[in-house]
Structure 1
Amino acid sequence: MKQAFAILLASISLSATYSQDKKEDIQSIKKMCGCYEVEFNFTETFQTSKDTTHKPSPTKKDHGLEWVELVEDSPNKLVLQHLLIVNDEMIIKHWRQDWLYENTEFYHFFKDKTWKYEKLNPKDVKGQWTQKVYQVDDSPRYEGTATWIHKDGKDYWMNVTDAPLPRREHTIRKDYNVLERRNIHEITKYGWLHEQDNRKLVRDEKGNDTEVAQEKGLDLYVKVADSKCVAAQKWWKENGALWKNVRTKWQTVFDQDKTIEMEKSVNNKPLFSHLFDLKPTATKEETDKIIDSFVK
C-alpha cells in the first residue's frame, strides 16, 4: 500500500512539473509575437568542398520591420504569422511558424521539392514542441521537435533539421540542394534571437550527403511599440480569411500522411506568385485549385 501511494505521489508530482513547464513554454512562444525591428545577418564560415571553383555566398546583412500575428491560440497549438512592412505601407506575407505540443507527425525535407512523411512514437516527443516552418505561400519548408529549456537564466529551444535553400540563396547557388539547419530560438531582454549554424549539403537520390560549406546566421528581433506595425495589423484583418483558406487546403494535403512532391512552377510562375496575385475576396475554390496544380 505504501509503495502504491508513493508511486501515485510521484506521478502527481511529475504531472504538475510537465504542466508548469508547458505553461512556461507557451509564454516563451507567445513572446515572439508583436512588432519588431529585425536585423538579418548571414555569412559563410567554412568552405569544405574540394571544388576549387566554389564561390562562397556574399555576407548578407539586411533589416526590416516585422509584425508577428498570433493567428491560432490553443493549449497544444500556436500559429504565428510573420508580416514584413516595407516603406511603412507595403505589406509582404512572410514566413509562418506553427508550434505543436507532443506532435508525432512530421514532413522531413529530402531534396528537390520533396518532403517525406514520418510518424514518431509518442514517448519520443514527450514534453516536446514541434516547430513547423512554412514558405510564404504556406507550403511546407522544415520542421523539428525539441524541448524548450528554461534554466540558468536562459530561455530557448534548439533543433537540427533539413530544409530547402533559403530565398537569399536559391537564385544564386546551384552547388548544393539541402541546408541542414541548427535553429536556436532564444527569448531575450530586447525581444528574441534566431541563431543558426547551418551546413550546405549535396544530397544524392540515396540520401548520401557531401558537405560544401558551413554558415552562421543571426537574426535579431528587437521589440518596439505595436503601434509601429498598425499597417500590418490592418492588412491581416483584410487578408486573413484568404490565408485561412490556404492553410485549410494545405492541412488536407498533410492529412494524407504520405510523401509530398511539388512542382517548381505552373504556367511559368511559382506558387507564391499565383496566390499573391489573388484579391482578398478570392474563394476557397480558387485557392484550392491553385494548390492542387502544384502538388504532384
Structure 2
Amino acid sequence: MTRFRPFAAALFLAAALPVAASAHPPIAAEEAAANFERDRADILAMAGNYHVGFNMQESTRWDPTYEVLEPKRSGGNEVVRVIEDTGRRIVLQHMLVITDDNDKTFVIKHWRQDWEYEPARVLVYADRNRWQWEDVPEKMRTGRWSQTVWQVDDSPRYGGWGQFETQAGIRRWRSNWTWRPLARRDAVRNPAYDRYYSINRHQLSPDGWIHWQDNTKMGIKGGKLVPIVQEYVLNTYIKYDDYDVKAADDYWAATRDYWAAVRAEWDRVAREKGGIAIEEQADTGTVVSGRLLEIADEVQERKLTTAKAIAEAKKLIETNTKTL
C-alpha cells in the first residue's frame, strides 16, 4: 500500500501553536485512588434522557479584517446511553430523537465519547483528513482521563486528556489544549478558518450537565496558520424525557452489534495503520459516512442481515483508509 503523505503536514507542524502539557502538576497516586470512583460517577452521570441546547458565539476577532458572526442557537432531544463500562474505560453513545411535522419520529446516531483512565496515548486530530497517536506524558497519566470524541459514523473527530478539578465549589473535567477539524455548523458558512484549537470541559449541574468549549478558530493566511476569531460554546443537557425515548432504545437494540463491529474496525485501522487517514468534507463527513449510516438503517428495517452489514462496513473502512 502506498504510504500516505499528509496534506500540508510540514506547514501545519511549523505553524501550529505550541501544545502545553498541562497547567496542572502531576497527581499523587493516593489522590488519584481516592478520586477514581467519584470520577467514574461523574462520567456515568452524563447518561440519560435530555433536551439539549447548543449555544455558539464568536467573540473576539484576532484577524482585523474578519467580521464576527451572529450567535448561533439550536437544540433538540437527545438520549445518551452507556454502551461499554470496563471500569477504566467508559463509552457513551448519543442519539438525537427528532419528530417531524407529521408526528413521525426519526433517530439520528449522534456523537460518541470514549473515556479512558490513565491512558498512555490518545488519537488526536493532526491535519486535514488525518488523525494520529499522541503520547500522554508519563508523569501526567496518573489520575487523569482521556476523552476521545467520534463522529456519527464512528470515525474520529478529536481527542484529549485532562483531569477532574474543583474550582469555586464546582467540579469539572478539563482537557489539555486540543486540535479539532472544522464542524459542519461552520463549514456551510464558507469560513476563513478550517480548524479549532480548544479547551474542552464537562461538568454536572442540578438539571443535568454542560459541555463547555473555548475555541480559537484557526485559518491559513499568507502561508501561515493564524488565529481568526475566538468562539465560546455552551451545550446544556437538561434532564427531559417527554419525547419518544423508546425510539432511540429500539434503534440501538437493532443496530448495536453492527455499530460494535464498526467501532472495532476503526480501532483496528488506527492500531495497524498508525492512526486514521481518510478523506472527509466538513459539511458531510467522511467519504464512507453516508453509506455506514444507511447500512444501519437497513439493518433496523431488516433489509440487510447484521453479518452482511458488518462485512460491507469493514470493506468500506479498510479500502478508504490509508497508512500514515
The TM tier, using the shorter chain, reads 0.7 to 0.9
Matches within 5 A, 1:74-223: 74-87=86-99, 89-150=105-166, 153-159=169-175, 160-202=177-219, 209-223=225-239
Distance 1:259 1:246, change over 3 A: closer
**Distance (Å, rounded) in 2 between the aligned partners of 1:283 and 1:194:** 33
Q: Secondary structure at the match of 2:34?
A: helix
Q: Which moved more, 1:112-121 or 1:72-81?
A: 112-121
Aligned match of 2:45: 31
Q: TM-score, normalised by structure 1?
A: 0.86
**Distance (Å, rounded) in 2 between the aligned partners of 1:183 and 1:133:** 11
Aligned match of 2:73: 61
Contact 1:35–1:226 (CA under 8 A) maintained in structure 2:
no
Q: TM-score, normalised by structure 2?
A: 0.79
1:227 Cα deviation (Å)?
7.5
**Distance (Å, rounded) in 2 between the aligned partners of 1:59 and 1:240:** 36
Instruction: Give aligned pairs, total.
Output: 278
Contact 1:111–1:203 (CA under 8 A) maintained in structure 2:
no
CA deviation digits over 1:68-116, x for unaligned, max 9? 0100011110000000000072000000000000011122212211123
1:255 Cα deviation (Å)?
1.4
Structure 1: gaps spanning 5 or more residues: 1-13
**Distance (Å, rounded) in 2 between the aligned partners of 1:181 and 1:116:** 17
Contact 1:111–1:177 (CA under 8 A) maintained in structure 2:
no
**Distance (Å, rounded) in 2 between the aligned partners of 1:144 and 1:234:** 32
CA deviation digits over 1:244-286, x for unaligned, max 9? 1100101101212624321227xx9832201111122343221
Distance 1:178 1:25, change over 3 A: same
1:224 Cα deviation (Å)?
2.1
Contact 1:102–1:122 (CA under 8 A) maintained in structure 2:
no
Contact 1:34–1:226 (CA under 8 A) maintained in structure 2:
no
**Distance (Å, rounded) in 1 between the aligned partners of 2:49 and 2:198:** 25
**Distance (Å, rounded) in 1 between the aligned partners of 2:168 and 2:246:** 36
**Distance (Å, rounded) in 1 between the aligned partners of 2:71 and 2:167:** 33
1:241 Cα deviation (Å)?
1.0
1:228 Cα deviation (Å)?
4.9
**Distance (Å, rounded) in 2 between the aligned partners of 1:284 and 1:122:** 37
Q: Secondary structure at the match of 1:181?
A: strand
Structure 2: gaps spanning 5 or more residues: 1-27, 300-305
Q: Which amino acid aligns with 1:74?
A: T
Q: Which amino acid aligns with 1:181?
A: S
Q: Which amino acid aligns with 1:196?
A: Q
Q: Which moved more, 1:280-289 or 1:70-79?
A: 280-289
Q: Which residue of 57, 61, 65 maps to 1:47?
A: 61
Aligned match of 2:19: none
**What percent of counterpart residues are identical?**
31
